[in-house]
Amino acid sequence: MSTLRTEVERDLVLERKETVAEGVVLLTLSDAEGRPLPEWQPGAHVDLILRADLVRQYSLCGDPGDRSRLQVAVLREPKSRGGSSYVHDELSEGESVRIRGPRNNFPLVKAKRYLFIAGGIGITPILPMVAAVDARGADWRLVYGGRTRASMAFGETLQRAYGDRVSLRPQDEYGLLDLPSLLGKPQRRTAVYSCGPETAARGGRIRLREVVERSPARGALRREEGRHRPAAHDLRGRARPVRPDAAGL
């Protein structure tokens, strides 16, 4: 398990800004002189220093093997305190963007099997994790929930790439995620990763606790939650092994 981190700041260029779902833009950042960018591993995030008084953390969601660019996805928050609205409304292609990092408080551990649960923009740190475990032939599943299909960034791409390993569960079609029914009883040596919006945290914790309590894989849960409702891209918590009876689960 790696917690690779750096506090180095550098100026990058916003190479591309594209809409990838309702209310979600994908930012592709690169070095203006083509220099290689810092190494990072699945689960890492960077600080975007948008102004001196406006710093936000976003999960890296691109390919860790591609050191020519970094990618983050940003959800427009209805009650934005400045970060998401600045990115959506003011930041333009070709502009300079200062970053700090990457850091990794949500590292991908080695396991025989993986269960990934993502809610909304919480899919972002899960994307490189899924790619990494699939590349090494591990057994894995992803359950991805959101308000609507149109709001679920990268959902169709994931389903095309990985088929029935990915379960898309938009709330307007299926209701709230019923994790015990969807996931069943995890097998031994299974690592469970969860990342989703804080607005769904209480119900999600209860359901996820039910899954882990019925699982032999106790202590294998790692979760990441959003600092601000309802976005999971603005990170607060440090990922850590969590007991099934932990108050925060």
Query: Using one digit for the tens of pLDDT, what is the confidence trace for 212-241?
Result: 444 444 445 555 644 322 222 222 233 333
The CATH number given to 9-103 is 2.40.30.10
Res 11 pLDDT > 90: yes
Res 157 pLDDT > 70: yes
Select the highest-mean-pLDDT range: 10-14, 76-80, 196-200, 227-231.
10-14
Domain positions in the chain: 9-103, 113-225
Q: What is the mean predicted confidence (pLDDT) over 173-182?
A: 82
Cβ proximity of 125 and 59 under 8 Å = yes
Query: Residue 176: what pLDDT?
Result: 85
**β partners of residue 214:** none
For the ranges 10-19, 70-79, 220-229, 239-248, which has the lowest average pLDDT?
Answer: 239-248
Res 35 pLDDT > 90: yes
| Domain 113-225 annotated CATH 3.40.50.300 | no
Q: What is the mean predicted confidence (pLDDT) over 141-168?
A: 97
Contacts of 215 (CB under 8 A, 6+ apart): 185, 186, 187, 190, 192
Res 88 pLDDT > 90: yes
Query: Residue 101: what pLDDT?
Result: 96
Residue 22: phi and psi, rounded to 5, are -60, 120
CA distance 134 to 144: 17
How sure is the predictor about 5, in pLDDT bands with cuts at 50, 70 and 90?
low
